[in-house]
Structure 1
Amino acid sequence: MKEDNKRIAEYEFSIGLRLTHWIRAISIAILIVSGFYLAYVFVSPVITSEPVNFMNAKWRAVHQIVGFVLIGCFIFKFYLFLFDKKSKIERVSVKDSINPKIWIDQVKYYLFLGKHPHLSGVYNPLQFVSYLFFYIVLFVICLTGLILYVHVYHEGLGGLLYDPMRVVEVWMGGLANVRLIHHIAMWIIMIFVVAHVYMAIFNAIKGKDGAMDAIISGYKFPKEH
């Protein structure tokens, strides 16, 4: 019997979700590069007696500005997940993530032992748990970043956040531990990004439903049932 390959366009990701995804991706890339510079200076300016270089200050400014962009993006994405009507399909994924049968079927799919399970939401259980872990780590890196920020800027927003961030700093065991946690969180995010890109390509090739198109256009193209 000939397989029916007719496909339908299915709207999966809203414009808000797609924007937060790409802003977050670009921000993370910039933060990784600038963060590496601040931790391990790998470019030195031309030596001059004139006070015009300030390369470290420029890298730090970029890191801080993009860091606040990432924090804003994180807060907005959290709002979308909880309240946006078009993001309901993400919230429904919680139901799939606690279904043992879907877990088993999903693992079998990745091992080429079965078909992809039918999902109520947009994410399979492995994806949902991975993204949940990612956002927890993202929260940690934003929080530790704010603690480091208030130690440099003591007025304005830095002054407003100084006292509560110092309390969190004590909980984490001091400023040295905060910096260490910040770096560890960065490495976890870097590993996640590599795994995320690999699995996105894997699902796009194996599923052949335009899974990677959806994060750009909003639409994927599953087979019509």
Structure 2
Amino acid sequence: METKYKPIMEFSKLTRIFHWVRAIAIFALIATGFYLGYPFLAPNNFSGEPTGFLYALMRSWHLIFGFVLIAVTIFRIYLLFTKECAVERRSFLDFINPITWFGVIKTYLLFGGHPRLKGAYNPLQFVTYIVVLLLILAISLTGLVLYAHVYHEGFGGFIAPLMKPIEVLCGGLANVRLIHHILTWAFVIFIPIHIYMAVWNATRYPGSGVDTILSGVKFEKE
């Protein structure tokens, strides 16, 4: 008998757009951030005159993508509480269900099939995405502290009093920069694991995975 599948809308258009915008922003921030930490390239200029401004260009792109990441994250949190993301909110029911936890652990240990979920994410995915959200908030706040110490006019001057307690809490500006750098490495470690697990899930359980974040649709057996 032929196996029939039914399409289920799992991720809205905005959810998918925000996912890829954040992905592009994070990749750009990692690349420009490493350059700012260690400027391994320089314009071919030995005259000593201030031309080229490659470092300034990298800083500009870092700031642009940083604010893009902050803006998209704010809108993504808002979107989570709208009707479009009801299936994502139902993931909390799977998170608090010990039977679902047991089924997911068996799945990843290759001892069983994927359990049927009420939401978009299994419990391990749910925990991972919450941790990633907290990482984005932490790296954004430390980035804003560093921003306020360089740009004293405009927005930088406006947020400086708000960022000062965070600087003090971290133990000074040097520690803020160190934490910002460590959080960058957390993303560097997370990204290949995330891509591998998404591809593995899509390969082992066709109908969901990588294609879902592109089309928004997953397929379940009828």
**TM-score normalised by L of structure 1:** 0.95
- 1:150-198 Cα deviation digits (max 9, x unpaired): 0110111101101110111001110011001101111111111111101
**What value does the CA root-mean-square deviation take over the aligned residues?**
1.1
Which shifted more, 190-199 or 140-149?
A: 190-199
Shift of 1:98: 1.3
Distance (Å, rounded) in 1 between the aligned partners of 2:138 and 2:12: 26
- The answer (yes or no) to whether the contact 1:209–1:223 under 8 Å persists in 2 is no
Shift of 1:222: 1.8
Q: Pick the aligned partner of 1:35 from 28, 33, 36.
A: 33
> Which residue is equivalent to 2:8?
10
Q: Percent identity?
A: 49
> Which residue is equivalent to 1:81?
80
- 1:69-108 Cα deviation digits (max 9, x unpaired): 00001101110112x1010111110111111111111010
Report the 3-state secondary structure (helix = DSSP H, G, I; strand = E; otherwise coil) of the residue aligned with 1:121. Answer: coil
Structure 1: 5+ residue runs without aligned partners? none
Distance (Å, rounded) in 1 between the aligned partners of 2:101 and 2:207: 21
Distance (Å, rounded) in 1 between the aligned partners of 2:104 and 2:133: 22
> Which residue is equivalent to 1:167?
165
Shift of 1:210: 3.6
- 1:23-46 Cα deviation digits (max 9, x unpaired): 000000100000000001111111
> Which residue is equivalent to 2:68?
69
Amino acid at match of 2:79: L
Shift of 1:115: 1.5
Which shifted more, 140-149 or 186-195?
A: 186-195
Q: 1:210 to 1:91 in 2, by over 3 A?
A: closer
Distance (Å, rounded) in 2 between the aligned partners of 1:17 and 1:180: 32
Structure 2: 5+ residue runs without aligned partners? none
- The answer (yes or no) to whether the contact 1:204–1:212 under 8 Å persists in 2 is yes
Report the 3-state secondary structure (helix = DSSP H, G, I; strand = E; otherwise coil) of the residue aligned with 2:184. Answer: helix
